[in-house]
Chain A
């Protein structure tokens, strides 16, 4: 039994699983690893960092591993 004001995380996960089952008409969303063509396409994209400098995305994994977290929006 969750404490008052807290959220039962297992219950939330169960509700989400059920809601997703109801959406099964949706095409299956694969999280298979991107292929090399996709990585190459990604690598040449240039983005601005917070100081205004342009960064070629591929430079992040050129000489070290990289974790990229894509946010929804800044809200």
Chain B
């Protein structure tokens, strides 16, 4: 459900992001999982699938039961459900956490966030502001 909420938020800023640079979601699971998510929730978002979770390891993203089912995730989940997003079947590694990386042209990182628990995402305005910064538009 957290990824559905994230995708919905990203679709809301997609046009603004595309004027500034590239926006892509990266998921783990199979290519079929990614295609299914793309059709149902990703829509026009550029979607990449990391079946081996190489990028997740490279960036040191957390993985573990307690980060998925700990108190912070459960509490955050109540918010997400209240906003109308429900949990679907797990398609990918249930214990893998994600994050956000924004880079300037050439690969200079300007913003990085590692999720501490499931549902721990930066505010969507922060992502857009970081991309503006990366594009030199601030």
A residues adjacent to B (C-beta < 8 A): 5-7, 9, 12, 15-16, 19-20, 22-23, 29-34, 36, 38-43, 45, 47-50, 52, 55, 57-58, 60-75
Q: Which residues of A contact B75 (CB under 8 A)?
A: 12, 15-16, 19
In the complex, how many residue pairs between chain A and chain B have their CB atoms under 8 Å apart?
A: 208
Whether A72 pairs with B26 at a CB distance below 8 angstroms is: no
B residues adjacent to A (C-beta < 8 A): 1-3, 6-7, 10, 17, 20-29, 31, 33-38, 42, 46-51, 54-56, 58-59, 61-62, 68, 70-72, 75-76, 78-79, 82, 87-94, 96-118, 127, 130-131, 134-135
Tell me whether chain B's interface is mostly helix, strand or loop, or mixed: mixed
Q: Which of B61, B62, B115, B134 contacts A65 (CB 8 A)?
A: B134
Q: Which residues of A contact B110 (CB under 8 A)?
A: 33
Whether A68 pairs with B26 at a CB distance below 8 angstroms is: yes
